[in-house]
Amino acid sequence: MLNRSLSKKRKSFEVLMKILMLLSVGLTASLVLFLLVYVLVQGIPNITWELLSTKPSYLTEKIGILPDILNTVYIVIATLFLVLPLGVGAAIYLTEYASNKKMVGIIEYAAETLSGIPSIIYGLVGMLLFSNNMGTCLMAGALTLVIMNLPTIMRTTQESLKTVPQSYREGAFGLGAGKWRVVRTVVLPGCVDGVITGCILSVGRILGESAALLFTAGFAHALNGIIDGLAAPGATLTVALYVYAKEQGEFGVAFAIAAILMVLTVLINFVATLVQKYFAKRRSL
């Protein structure tokens, strides 16, 4: 219908752009599909109970990734535990307390800068700041990740705080509540969704992180409890994948870890979408 009176030049532009767009979308889609299928096909056959439930043994020359799984869990817990109060506090300061526009601008610019710094630089600074003082250990890695994830938690919390209606705050003030009381009873409950979204995003980022951990948390595979684990060097799943693939040529194990990471990534994305949808729905009610 639209083609009735188009000149040749316009028509060829139309067709060319359509083809280019479809090609690009097709390429992107098949790329995602290929990565997903390839990693799962290569990895899943290598996932055995023995691999998941043991630590590497030089005696039997078998590789187990249980320590790496636990290290990942420990580092996620430690990082979130530390970053949450900092990030939420910073967001509350920005939306509730800060009155100086210039200051807000500086803080937001700093947060943007932090999220643009590549992880290898975090790794280096983490090494100088933490590992050189407390030794190479999971805790040094977690502290490095705290700085990395600060902007994420801050941003998601800030976004959810902005959706708390101003009238709630005014109502509370009108009833004679002090600032702190308003923050505690009105504002904080309102940022739960932002905090949860931020946590999910951060977990995803921590799971995928490797460059920042290589020189801060090290790459040992010892089996520890959480307290000893945080004080000892240890590889997370991504670091273990790197070491097994690049330094030891154990591609089977590397693919098994890659498949686990892939499944976790899909899961985290799924949960993140679900949570965001849920909160959006609840807010619109």
Partner 1 sequence: MKKNQILEKVIHGIFLFLGLITVDCVLMITVYLVISGIPAIFEIGPVDFLFGKEWASTAAEPKYGILPFILTSIYGTAGAIVIGVPIGFMTAIYLSKLASPKVKSAMQSAVSLLAGIPSVVYGLVGMLVLVPGIRKIFNVPDGASLLAAVIVLAIMILPSIIKMSITALDAVPKEYEDASLALGATPIETYFKVSVPAAKSGIAAAVVLGVGRAIGEAMAVMMVAGNVPNMPDSLFQSVRFLTTAVSSEMAYSSGLQQQALFSIALVLFLFIMLINAILNFFLKREKE
Site for partner 1 in 110-129 (CB under 8 A): 110-114, 116-125, 127-129
Return the HEC string of the chain. CHHHHCCHHHHHHHHHHHHHHHHHHHHHHHHHHHHHHHHHHHHHHHCCHHHHHCCCECCCCECCCHHHHHHHHHHHHHHHHHHHHHHHHHHHHHHHHCCCHHHHHHHHHHHHHHHHCCHHHHHHHHHHHHHHHHCCCHHHHHHHHHHHHHHHHHHHHHHHHHCCCHHHHHHHHHCCCCHHHHHHHHHHHHCHHHHHHHHHHHHHHHHHCCHHHHCCCCCCCCCCCHHHHHHCCCCCHHHHHHHHHHHCCCHHHHHHHHHHHHHHHHHHHHHHHHHHHHHHHHHHC
**Segment 217-236, which members bind partner 1 (CB under 8 A)?**
none
**Segment 65-94, which members bind partner 1 (CB under 8 A)?**
85-86, 89-90, 92-94
Could you give the CA distance from residue 188 to residue 260 in angstroms, rounded to a whole number? 35
Q: Which of 53, 57, 163, 269 lies at the binding interface for partner 1 (CB under 8 A)?
A: 269
Select 40 or 228, whichever has its Cβ closest to partner 1.
40
**Segment 38-67, which members bind partner 1 (CB under 8 A)?**
38-39
| Span of 13-21, 53-61, 62-70, 186-194 interacting with partner 1 by CB under 8 A | 13-21
Select 123 or 229, whichever has its Cβ closest to partner 1.
123
Q: Which of 8, 9, 101, 246 lies at the binding interface for partner 1 (CB under 8 A)?
A: 246
As measured in angstroms, the least distance from the Cβ of 264 to partner 1 is 9
As measured in angstroms, the least distance from the Cβ of 225 to partner 1 is 26
As measured in angstroms, the least distance from the Cβ of 280 to partner 1 is 14
**Segment 248-267, which members bind partner 1 (CB under 8 A)?**
251, 254-255, 258, 261-262, 265-266
Could you give the CA distance from residue 107 to residue 116 in angstroms, rounded to a whole number? 14
Site string for partner 1, 154-193 (x = CB under 8 A): x-----------------------xxx--x----------
Select 13 or 57, whichever has its Cβ closest to partner 1.
13
Select 204 or 229, whichever has its Cβ closest to partner 1.
204
Q: Which of 13, 48, 171, 189 lies at the binding interface for partner 1 (CB under 8 A)?
A: 13
